[in-house]
Amino acid sequence: MYSGLMSTSERLIEATRELLWERGYVGTSPKAIQQLAGAGQGSMYHHFTGKPDLALAAVRRTAEEMRAAAAASLDGPGTAYERIAGYLLRERDVLRGCPLGRLTMDPDVIADDRLRAPVEETLDWLRGRLASVVEEGTERGELSAALVPADIAATIVATVQGGYVLARASGSPAAFDAGVRGLLTLLDPSADDRS
């Protein structure tokens, strides 16, 4: 139940974000949203046309936050490797998974272009941003010249998204951390990578 300092529509959006993260779109009912937001049915249907509309507002906000968080790691100073490492090693609520990525497993989200759009755009943006960092790294000689920026960017994002899967399967963040360590070893320009 959220503070009364937030407006009703704000509380509804925040409650929806929370529940979408925890239970996904199919698993989140209007009633649960209303209870967590401390709002009645009338309020919800006054501010939003229905569950999809509210979910859209929630997903857009989550996408915004995710961009900002990634940019904070990637826009900083340091070598390409350091910025990528910073992104991979930043604090995460590993066992909760990615609030945006988890939605891709939701058939009702994938089937709705309006709901899928912010998810796609944000992951695309992230890959693009990482590809730029990798490209800078190869140009400056900080990373192997053999790397294809767009491919490595996809590998990095996939390792994070898949790391969540492994962590949730085992009930421990250890597998996520292992995957990240493995990727950093593979990227590390200072490691002796010859057999």
Partner DNA sequence: GTCTATAATCGGATAGAC
Partner DNA sequence: GTCTATCCGATTATAGAC
Member of 3, 5, 42, 68 binding DNA (CB under 7 A) = 42
Cβ nearer to DNA, comparing 106 with 135:
106
Q: Taking the alpha carbons of 141, 146, 147, 149 in that order, is the dihedral positive or negative?
A: positive
Task: Say how far apart CA 127 and CA 117 lie, in whole Å.
Answer: 15
User: Which of 19, 2, 22, 7 is closest to 55 using CA atoms?
Assistant: 19
Q: Which does 70 bind (CB under 5 to 8 A by kind): a second copy, DNA, none?
A: none
Helix or strand holding residue 67 (H, E): helix 51-74
Between 42 and 171, CB nearer to DNA: 42
Q: Please select the residue that binds DNA; options are 6, 32, 71, 110, rule is CB under 7 A.
A: 32
Residue number with CB closer to DNA (36 or 157): 36
Q: Which of 40, 107, 128, 141 binds DNA (CB under 7 A)?
A: 40
Handedness of CA 100, 106, 107, 112 (dihedral sign): negative
State in angstroms the smallest separation of the CB of 7 from a second copy: 28
Given DNA, a second copy, none, residue 189, with its beta carbon under 5 to 8 Å by kind, binds: a second copy
Nearest alpha carbon to residue 74 among 145, 128, 146, 20: 128
Question: Judged by CB under 7 A, does residue 39 bind DNA?
Answer: yes
CB 154 within 8 A of CB 148: no
List the single partner that 35 binds among a second copy, DNA, none, CB under 5 to 8 Å by kind.
none
